[in-house]
Amino acid sequence: MVQITLPDGSRREFPGPVTVAEVAQSIGAGLARAALGGKVAFDGEQPRLVDTSFRIERDARLGIVTPKDPDGLELIRHSTAHLLAYAVKSLFPEAQVTIGPVIDNGFYYDFSYKRPFTPEDLEAIEKKMAELARKDEPVTREEWKRDDAVAFFNGIGEKYKAEIIASIPSNETISLYREGDFIDLCRGPHVPSTGKLKVFKLMKVAGAYWRGDSKNEMLQRIYGTAWASKEEQDAYLHMLAEAEKRDHRKLGRELDFFHFQDEAPGLIFWHPKGWQLWQQVEQYMRAVYRDNGYQEVKGPQILDLSLWKKTGHWDNYRENMFTTESENRVYGLKPMNCPGHVQIFNSSLHSYRDLPLRYGEFGQCHRNEPSGSLHGMMRVRGFTQDDGHIFCTEAQMQDECADFTALLQKVYRDFGFEEVLYKVATRPGKRIGDDATWDAAEQALMDSLRRTGCEFEISPGEGAFYGPKIEYTLKDAIGRHWQCGTLQVDFSMPVRLGAEYVDADDQRRPPVMLHRAILGSLERFIGMLMENHAGAMPAWLSPVQAVVCCISDPSAAYAAEITQTLKKQGFRVESDLRGEKITYKIREHSLQKVPYILVVGDKERDAGSVAVRARGGLDLGTLALDDFVARLAQEVAQRRDIGRPEQVS
């Protein structure tokens, strides 16, 4: 007898070995039709994803995987990648297939072919995929000996597949999956038939080197997306369209904020308007430091290599560090600020009465990121962190963690982010420190989140080598997630760098060091802000808060006077005194996403008023200048738009 335990705790018994599909059928015909795979676990083993044809030969726990499950979506995407390869081979028999994994929101497959695939080719391939799916051909697993599989793929001209298989140890069994006339190497699992694949779309073609090595042949990578329902795919495609409109690189050019060029890969040229936006963000964070007990410091850009070796960064991070030499000494251009802050702490002896001691720095860092990973302001080689380090006692650690989370939540709200996701990344396999220390650090982070009312997930093994961390992730206006803030507990670096304080018993002890950042990289955060607001920055952040436009030459002097009056009150205001039509001026400044356009003519000059248009085409009518000043001042003070519809203009 084989006993199967289901997720609800119920049990079913079978007279002998049973497949996942047969278990599903025993539960109900509807579940059997929906089944894509199974999640099976034997005693003492972790659950694993298997085909519906998988035979269970001893007692096990089993969950039936359907399209509603995250694992079901992965099966759909993995199988759709194979369907793509099947369609390409059907249309272009000379093409060679290589690898085709699942990625976020979809899949890709790499091909070797004599000419580039065109947009018309993609349309034909997608049409062929739909045709093959409608045939509802069974997807079956076969097990081969390695050498037989190598010979087979060499025999059909698939040299890349043969090379992959030849690299597998000879004693391992090779699994192949067959659907119709197509057979492919794969560990699986897959959906039971091509008819389960109903919702997919091919997105683009890109280049990719065979096995990621630039010395190898350039292949063609076809990207696609696949979903369990058309509604989910439509929502995803809508999000992509919105993301394209909001792309910070495009907005940066249109709004004249910044640019990139080949002479400085991964580095940013800030223009006056963009730098004004930067300054608003930095000055806000500087006030956060000041109001929450941080002392602002500044460490050097380069430090002797010996220091980076002491901290462990050279052993664990050297490939991402820039180095330079002078007078036979090697220096590392800092990729992070923490070692410098420890040196500042070590410059004098501290008592327990001095703790907690909070340092904050707008620290400029450089990391030697691969050129292929660079992406606008989201992934750069030079960036500035709102970096801080808290030196405290172990007894103070939990309070400091809880206070930091509460502070971070307020900052995110001020920038317009209401939804935050929390993850606690725990000890990795490769780490320093004993288990008791890790237990205390992980518990402090979890308890601090509970105290602030935060639900959180655990990311097992994702902590840094020196300590666990909380990762704070924001959700933007179109549903994307951005990991920004971090809080890391570190018992190790203070010991390695000789940091000490004198406790109440006159004994020297190493402090606990909390590494914390709210925004993370300012460059990346500003890019996120631009995309979240579609470039229409709230008035408190906008580089230009208002433009004063004269209707005609006689009102130009009044427009200039109002501009100066507003500037003296601390607002960022420009005037447009050109002899252009007022409709042209309004349109031009609307495209620049200026929060307010003030129009003045003879009537406004004589009344000492302004005609006010808010961003998004909202006509506020004619206001006394003092009334407009009060409105703008309130909007800036409250860090929110007042009475303005949300609109991408």
Given 96, 220, 280, 385, which residue is catalytic?
A: 385
Q: What is the DSSP string of 319-377?
A: GG-EEEEETTEEEEE-S-SHHHHHHHHHTS-EEGGG-SEEEEEEEEEE----GGG-BTT
| 515 annotated ligand-binding residue | yes
H-assigned helices in 195-348: 230-246, 248-254, 272-291, 305-311, 313-317, 338-346
Q: Give the amino acid at 484.
A: C
* pLDDT recorded at residue 492: 86
* pLDDT recorded at residue 384: 93
| 454 annotated ligand-binding residue | no
Q: What is the pLDDT of residues 2-18, one digit of tens each?
A: 999 999 999 999 999 99
Examine the pLDDT at 76 and tell me if it is beyond 90. yes
Angstrom distance (rounded) from CA 30 to CA 35? 9
Examine the pLDDT at 227 and tell me if it is beyond 80. yes
Please tell me whether the peptide bond between 510 and the residue prior to it is cis, using omega within 30 degrees of 0: no
Q: What is the pLDDT of residues 309-359, one digit of tens each?
A: 888 788 877 888 999 999 999 999 998 888 899 999 999 999 999 999 999
Query: Does residue 593 carry a catalytic annotation?
Result: no
| Structural domains of the chain sorted by starting position, each given as residue range(s) with its CATH number in brackets | 2-66 (3.10.20.30), 71-244 (3.30.980.10), 270-299+335-533 (3.30.930.10), 546-638 (3.40.50.800)
Given 198, 313, 367, 589, which residue is catalytic?
A: 367
Query: Does residue 475 carry a catalytic annotation?
Result: no
Query: Does residue 367 carry a catalytic annotation?
Result: yes
Given 186, 338, 392, 484, which residue is catalytic?
A: 338
Query: Does residue 515 carry a catalytic annotation?
Result: yes
Q: What is the pLDDT of residues 452-480, one digit of tens each?
A: 899 999 999 989 878 899 999 998 888 88
H-assigned helices in 139-229: 146-155, 159-166
Hey, what are 57's tokens? 């030969």
Query: Does residue 469 carry a catalytic annotation?
Result: yes
Query: Does residue 403 carry a catalytic annotation?
Result: no
Query: Does residue 385 carry a catalytic annotation?
Result: yes
Q: What is the pLDDT of residues 482-533, one digit of tens each?
A: 989 999 999 888 998 999 999 999 999 999 999 999 999 999 999 999 999 9
pLDDT bucket at 642, cuts 50 / 70 / 90: low
Examine the pLDDT at 648 and tell me if it is beyond 80. no
Strand 350-351 and strand 173-179: the pairing is unpaired
Angstrom distance (rounded) from CA 431 to CA 312? 11
Q: What is the DSSP string of 590-641?
A: HHTT-SEEEEE-HHHHHHTEEEEEETTTEEEEEEEHHHHHHHHHHHHHHTS-
Given 51, 121, 386, 387, which residue is catalytic?
A: 387
* pLDDT recorded at residue 257: 96
Angstrom distance (rounded) from CA 295 to CA 289? 7
Angstrom distance (rounded) from CA 388 to CA 382? 18
Examine the pLDDT at 371 and tell me if it is beyond 90. no
Element counts in the chain: helices (H) and strands (E): 20, 36
> What residues contact residue 429 under an 8 Å CB cut-off, 6+ apart?
461
Query: In 449-480, where do the E strands start and end?
Result: 457-459, 469-475
Which of 88-92, 314-318, 348-352, 544-548 comes out lowest in average pLDDT?
Answer: 314-318
**pTM attached to this predicted model:** 0.80
Q: Mean pLDDT over residues 31-52, rounded?
A: 93
pLDDT bucket at 373, cuts 50 / 70 / 90: confident
Given 469, 589, 613, 631, which residue is catalytic?
A: 469
Hey, what are 491's tokens? 């018992």
Q: Mean pLDDT over residues 357-367, rounded?
A: 93
Given 389, 431, 524, 585, which residue is catalytic?
A: 389
Identify whether the C-beta of residue 523 lies closer than 8 Å to the C-beta of residue 383. yes
Degrees (nearest 5) of the Cα angle 594, 598, 601? 150
Average pLDDT, the chain: 93
| 313 annotated ligand-binding residue | no
Residue 554 CB neighbours (<10 A): 11
pLDDT bucket at 646, cuts 50 / 70 / 90: very low
